[in-house]
Structure 1
Amino acid sequence: MNSHRSWVQPFLTTKSLLPENQESPIEFIESDTVDSRLFYRRNHFLYPVFPFNSYWLPIGGAVTRSKLFSMDDLFRFPSKTIKIVLECAGNKRRLFNPKVYGEQWDKGAISQAVWKGVPLRILLESAGIKEGAKEVVVEGYDYGPRSDLNQVYPYARSLPLEKAMDSDTIIAYEFNGRPIPFQHGYPLRLIAPQWYAMASVKWIKHITVMDSEFSGPFQSIDYVYYPHKDNEKDARPVTEMNVNSTIQNPKDMDILNAGTHIINGIAWTGKGRITMVEVSLDKGHTWKQAEIQRHGSTEYSWVRWSYKWTAAERGEYKIMSRASDSFKRKQPSQPFWNRKGYGYNAVDHIKVKIE
């Protein structure tokens, strides 16, 4: 006889419908890869319409010879398979104080999958990069109006040449062993490991090598850290993910019986690897080291962690987690506040009650 668990399934949490933005039920994700049904969805515009049956990938700009690749061409190149975290730059935006405008993501604008594709470097080298090239612009088929500029724009982002030429930056055509689902970028999606997911452009339309700085609105206006509310002083681009952690169990505001409980969650970083996760049960006065489970983890994936807690006394408790990485970065007690609400990575916390 099947248990209840076999038919009770979590669902995405809807943040908006037009465009579709859905949050992964991260507290209920127990596997190292997230299937397309539960993988978070982030869109700036409505889903694009384009000719699937006659799809070609052009590469032009500052190259010695423009190229046009068919899907069969891409399948013939050496492939690379990588398991990576994709985290929206606005993940946890709802937690900022003072509040910031934008999609009010909680903790579920993050998922993990295995992507397969051809290194972008191979395609760029086949086109021949001209001397003086600085950036590689990837434009998607998705586009729409921007109210701040009174104009229609495509979603396009650039990578510095060094990042574009990294052997792990790929043009992906598979997601968890299957063709990429349409909602996640079919037929081709850029995957830029360790950077926030705004860099991993979906539904690729064309790639352009530039000898100047790209200034599209999703590069120069959005996905920029603005530390000051009313001016652009000290602005800097959003790039690699911050070190971060999320408590999955118990759930926030759970009521628990006295006894032994397992506190667990995930931790990830955009530089190096996670070296330590700590848990506090006394509002941050003392910290205890959690156990990190590295089975199945890779260079770009999250790690799972757990801590055994014996709760003997009744009352309310604040459970906190903080991660550290190999570049000596540690989650701060307070987030770096910025006007558009990117990169939240303050110490995670929940509250529970022991009865």
Structure 2
Amino acid sequence: MPERKFTVKPSLTTRGLLPENQETPLEFLQADTMNNYQFFRRNHFEYPALNQASYRLLLGGLIKQPVSLSLQDLYRFPARTLKVALECAGNKRGFFEPKAFGEQWGKGAISQGYWRGVPLANILDLTGFSSHAEEIVIKGYDHGGRKDSDKTYPYARSLPLEKALHLDTIIAYEYNGQPLSYKHGYPLRLIVPGWYAMASVKWVRQISVIGTAFNGPFQANDYMYYPNKETDEGAFPVTVQNVNSTIQSPQDMEEVSGRRHRIRGIAWTGQGSITRVEISLDDGVSWNEAAFHASSSPYEWVSWQYEWKPDRAGEYSILSKATDSTGRTQERKAFWNRKGYGYNAMDHVKVRVH
């Protein structure tokens, strides 16, 4: 009887069920694209009920006339395909010291793949929007209550006009060559490369052109950096992804044997490109450059590796540090903020070599 071979597939790490919030098992994946199952899930509300047969994308606000588009209408536009890493603004929140309230994400609130869709700019061109336009508001079908209010709100965010009109800001209808999955925004999802994923609104319902600053709760209250623990003084909005890196292997507190090991991981940035990844094997006393190939897309992460030959048995404190082409680099300590956004301190694992 032939020997059976079993394939073990890593599961998502659950952070919440109602609404569903789950992490990508990043430490156990070697591919640089995630399928729908492996892609992290971040929700503020329960999943919305949608009727595909009657679905229309509505455009309104400061435009010459309202526009209503079917999915078939959108499929007729010239399309773009972009490889983009989407990162939750709360990725790695669980590492902040002191702790910040919210989902205690580890390293897995980031995933990437190929998104295909229509530039938002091309859709807006249909509307003849006003010269007084300042921001574009994108509203999703998902909605519900908030703990700080007795009202019900849709999930809605705005983009400044310049970002909305960038040709890489797209209304996506495919992921990795397949229609978007229901849990990741089917039938349409906004993709805003280089910004944290709170901007990439799922289940897009309506696009509105406005001439003032949008002040919905997911714009004016959430997704703001609050540097002060007690007051809102000095607050500023969460937008562009920070430069960052993650060690995938070895894992924290892992015991390894032998005298040859490959330290590997990923690095990414929302501005420019990754130009250097450094590894320290002595808790930051000295640094060594890791090898990586420059990415073909400015919006994807780079995979890096470092061949390590430990000269002794014992405990090691390993750090990773990425630098991008704008000169931004990771610091030893993250910029603390009350809601725990944008964590990008050097990644850190401890291992014991036998």
Alignment of 1:121-132 (within 5 A): 121-132=121-132
How far the C-alpha of 1:297 sits from its partner, in A, is 4.1
Alignment of 1:57-96 (within 5 A): 57-96=57-96
Alignment of 1:44-59 (within 5 A): 44-59=44-59
Distance 1:298 1:212 in 2: 33
How far the C-alpha of 1:293 sits from its partner, in A, is 2.6
Residues 266 and 302, structure 1, Cα contact 8 Å, conserved in 2:
yes
Offset from partner CA, 1:283-318 (integer Å, 9 cap, x none): 101110000133x64221000000011012111101
Match of 1:300 in 2: 299
Residues 63 and 128, structure 1, Cα contact 8 Å, conserved in 2:
yes
Match of 1:100 in 2: 100
Match of 1:178 in 2: 178
Distance 1:60 1:29 in 2: 42
Matched, 1:328 2:323: no
Match of 1:317 in 2: 316
How far the C-alpha of 1:251 sits from its partner, in A, is 1.2
Match of 2:289 in 1: 289
Distance 1:129 1:89 in 2: 31
User: Does the residue aligned with 1:218 lie in a helix, a strand or coil?
Assistant: helix
Match of 2:200 in 1: 200
Offset from partner CA, 1:243-285 (integer Å, 9 cap, x none): 0000001111111113010000000000000000000001101
Match of 2:351 in 1: 352
Offset from partner CA, 1:154-211 (integer Å, 9 cap, x none): 1000000000000000000001000000000000000000000000000011000000
% identity of equivalent residues? 55
Alignment of 1:214-253 (within 5 A): 214-253=214-253
* Greater CA drift, 169-178 or 22-31: 22-31
User: Does the residue aligned with 1:127 lie in a helix, a strand or coil?
Assistant: coil
Residues 258 and 313, structure 1, Cα contact 8 Å, conserved in 2:
no
Matched, 1:274 2:274: yes
Residues 297 and 303, structure 1, Cα contact 8 Å, conserved in 2:
no
Residues 60 and 209, structure 1, Cα contact 8 Å, conserved in 2:
yes
Aligned letter for 1:331? Q
Residues 241 and 269, structure 1, Cα contact 8 Å, conserved in 2:
yes
Residues 282 and 318, structure 1, Cα contact 8 Å, conserved in 2:
yes
Distance 2:168 2:28 in 1: 29
- What is the aligned residue count? 353
How far the C-alpha of 1:72 sits from its partner, in A, is 0.6
Matched, 1:43 2:43: yes
User: Does the residue aligned with 1:198 lie in a helix, a strand or coil?
Assistant: helix
User: Does the residue aligned with 1:219 lie in a helix, a strand or coil?
Assistant: helix
- Off by >4 Å, runs of 4+ in structure 1: 1-4
Residues 258 and 314, structure 1, Cα contact 8 Å, conserved in 2:
no
Distance 1:40 1:224 in 2: 22
User: Does the residue aligned with 1:321 lie in a helix, a strand or coil?
Assistant: strand
With structure 1 as the length reference, what TM-score do the two structures score?
0.98
Residues 45 and 143, structure 1, Cα contact 8 Å, conserved in 2:
yes
Matched, 1:338 2:349: no
Distance 2:65 2:275 in 1: 45
Unaligned ranges ≥5, structure 1: none
* Cα separation, partners in 2 of 1:277 and 1:254, compared to 1, 3 Å: same
Unaligned ranges ≥5, structure 2: none
Match of 2:151 in 1: 151
CA RMSD of aligned residues (A): 1.1
Aligned letter for 1:354? V
Distance 1:328 1:217 in 2: 33
